[in-house]
Chains A and B, each alone.
Chain A
Amino acid sequence: MTKFRVSETMKEMMASYYLEAKNAAYNNIPVAWITSGGPVEFLHAMGVIPVYPENYAPMCSITRVSKDLIEVSEAAGYSSDLCSYARTDIGADMTQGGPIMGLPKPDMLIVGTNICHTVVKWFDVHARKYNVPLFIIDMPYLHDGMTKEAINYVVKQFESFKVFLSGVLKKRFDEEKFRETLFLAAQVSGLWEKVLAMGKKKPSPINSFDTFIHLAPIVTLRGTQRAVDYYTQFYDELVELNTQGFGSVPDEKIRLLWDNLPIWYKIKYLSEFFAKHKAAFVVSTYTNSWAAIQGDIDTDHALEELARAYLSPYINRDFKYRIEYLVKLIEEFSLDGIVFHSDRSCKPYSLGQYMIKEEVTKRTGKPGLIIEADMNDPRVFSDAQFETRAEAFLEGYEK
């Protein structure tokens, strides 16, 4: 993984974010647990600290404690077929384990269903345990493209969400602060898009293993000035590196796309494995999902624009859309192929990958590789089996 100047800044920023969250109760600041695709802008507008079990679970995975936490939740009766983020998070909550000894106690729970429906039941478990209100925003799967009906449906729920927040927090919804937050969120989203677009450069100064890590601030802190400052610095650094001809993978020969979530507990190993074979992941469908809010957000139609953004992640789109999107990325990023992580835990992401792979290869002539693994459960990954598949795939590029 590439060591950037901003890497230290990010570490400090994330540490201070978690410190603020851990001290929230002491400072009388409300905390909400929210899903990765949840509308965090409403929370920032109301001075609530958002906390992400889906950010904490990978932290547990990278620090190699996810297996133990998973075993705790499995022993409590949660099925091993359940999402490994849920199993890690529930295990961490039961034991107050992981790198920051558990997440700060929530005052409310917010769920968006644009990523999956497991989150509904998973957060429901927490709602019962902590006896705090749970607000579910149903963001329907787009079977046939974006529709006015889907947008209106989500807008109506956003309106109720404002009422919910002012009820729980016992204060008026701050429209002025909300507009300000949206403006910042749109800026961050636009900057993230520019950061990711640096992957189009040859060689690419950034790869997906980097963007997986540098994703943390846009997930947790979008809608804040510090996130804007951070990604501005990051983008400037990448531009500078590019002018020096820097490639994040030395002697880049093969340009790939990563599909699905990262395999967190193997991120360093995978980064080194592909770098050794001179293969760079210059784009991923996963990180692209956080570049959805457009830069010049029209604050008069803010809720419609937000609804559109929250409905549009790759994982919430139909297969036809996914195929066309991948074909477009192959063109735009001059890709040589795609690696599909078939993630045991993330069924909505993994469903259809075999068919999508076949169709994309048919249309573009670019090969795909499917790796069977899991984002957070290290018991599912086998080095030898992965290496045979990945090396055979990469041997295909040898002349």
Chain B
Amino acid sequence: MKYFAGIDVGSLTAKAVVIDENGKILGYHIQPIGQDSLVAGMNAYQKALTIPGLKREDVSSIVSTGYSRKRFTEASSQKTEISCHAKGISVLFPAVRTLIDVGGQDSKAIKISKDGRVLDFAMNDKCAAGTGRFVEVMANVLNLSLNGLSDSALSFKNELTLSSTCTVFGESEVVSLLSQGQNVPDISWAIIKSIADRIVALAKRVGIENDVAMSGGMAKNKALVSRLEEKLECKILVAEEPQIMGALGAALIAKG
């Protein structure tokens, strides 16, 4: 049996996936980047290997992806996360034509061909608005975890609006909403609506074609997924572990 690995070293987390020659996922691991992206990537890889009890020499080929992909010299090649996410999702959900990936620093909408190739893509501009980082900053202000923010948003009562899409100004806006005595669930929902609007605009740039899927850490946010489904008027498919889609795609590319 031959084994392959994909390592996705993103802006906030490192993800590693190990598969066998049939493309079956044998192990994966997600961990925060901390101070050194290369160390985080290697740790994630080591931990993913221990799950099926493999050693580094058992792996035939590695593909790295994500912002720090080029630092990972052990990889036989580097691919952008755009190609990797497209590859990963098209193996899990072959009917997907539009993929929305919302990670820590980037959000992207990817148009995928029937054979899993990238036809077109759009990404957020040089700004954290519409990315996971935006939600993370707001959750911190509210003293909530990311899941906590999602749960809180789903129990909202009143519609509030966050007018700023800028993370820095948005943060002060959330602070002032709190000081006005607004309820946390209502503010949480306003945060979700704000990021969803940015993502919808991005997705419409490449054009929405069914099926639509979502990947990246923010796909775990139920409030966001439900808001996107409502705004895009379609069902959004989410994998069991959407955060490893890039690493899975990288492993599948390594398999060839």
Which A positions have Cβ atoms within 8 angstroms of B? 354, 361, 367, 370, 372, 380, 382, 384-385, 388-389, 391-392, 395-396
Instruction: Please name the residue on chain B nearest to A342 by beta carbon.
Output: B125
Residues of B within 8 A of A367 (CB): 119-120
Residues of A within 8 A of B123 (CB): 385, 388-389
A354 to B205, CA, bound (A): 8
Once A388-B67, A388-B80, A395-B80 are accepted as A-B contacts, the answer to whether A380 and B120 lie under 8 Å apart by CB is no
The 5 A-B residue pairs with the shortest CB-CB distance in the complex, in nearest-first order = A392-B82, A392-B80, A395-B83, A391-B80, A372-B125
What's the least CB distance linking A93 to chain B, in Å?
A: 29
Q: List 10 A-B contacts (CB under 8 A).
A: A367-B120, A385-B123, A385-B126, A388-B80, A388-B106, A392-B121, A395-B82, A395-B118, A396-B83, A396-B118
B79 CB-CB contact with A under 8 Å: yes
B81 CB-CB contact with A under 8 Å: yes
Interface residues of B in 186-210 (CB under 8 A from A): 205
B227 CB-CB contact with A under 8 Å: no
Residues of B within 8 A of A384 (CB): 67
A384 to B126, CA, bound (A): 11
Can you add 5 more A-B contacts, CB < 8 Å, to A388-B82, A395-B83, A396-B117?
Answer: A354-B205, A367-B119, A388-B81, A395-B118, A396-B118
A389 to B120, CA, bound (A): 11
Interface size on B, residues (CB 8 A): 17
In the complex, the answer to whether A395 meets B126 with C-beta atoms within 8 Å is: no
Residues of A within 8 A of B82 (CB): 388, 392, 395
What's the least CB distance linking B221 to chain A, in Å?
A: 23
In the complex, the answer to whether A392 meets B120 with C-beta atoms within 8 Å is: no
Contact of B118 among A361, A380, A392 (CB under 8 A): A392
What's the least CB distance linking B138 to chain A, in Å?
A: 23
A396 to B111, CA, bound (A): 12
A382 to B83, CA, bound (A): 20
Instruction: Please name the residue on chain A nearest to B86 by beta carbon.
Output: A392
Residues of A within 8 A of B79 (CB): 391, 395
A372 to B120, CA, bound (A): 16
A67 to B83, CA, bound (A): 34
A354 to B83, CA, bound (A): 21
CB 8 Å contact bits of B38-80 with A (1 = contact, 0 = none): 0000000000000000000000000000010000000000011
A388 to B205, CA, bound (A): 18
Instruction: Please name the residue on chain A nearest to B68 by beta carbon.
Output: A384
A392 to B108, CA, bound (A): 12
A384 to B11, CA, bound (A): 11
CB 8 Å contact bits of B121-146 with A (1 = contact, 0 = none): 11101100000000000000000000
Residues of A within 8 A of B120 (CB): 361, 367
What's the least CB distance linking B117 to chain A, in Å?
A: 7
What's the least CB distance linking A316 to chain B, in Å?
A: 27
Residues of B within 8 A of A389 (CB): 121, 123
What's the least CB distance linking A378 to chain B, in Å?
A: 13
Residues of B within 8 A of A372 (CB): 125-126
Instruction: Please name the residue on chain B nearest to A379 by beta carbon.
Output: B126
CB 8 Å contact bits of B149-163 with A (1 = contact, 0 = none): 000000000000000
Q: Which of A370, A385, A388 has the most CB of B within 10 A?
A: A388
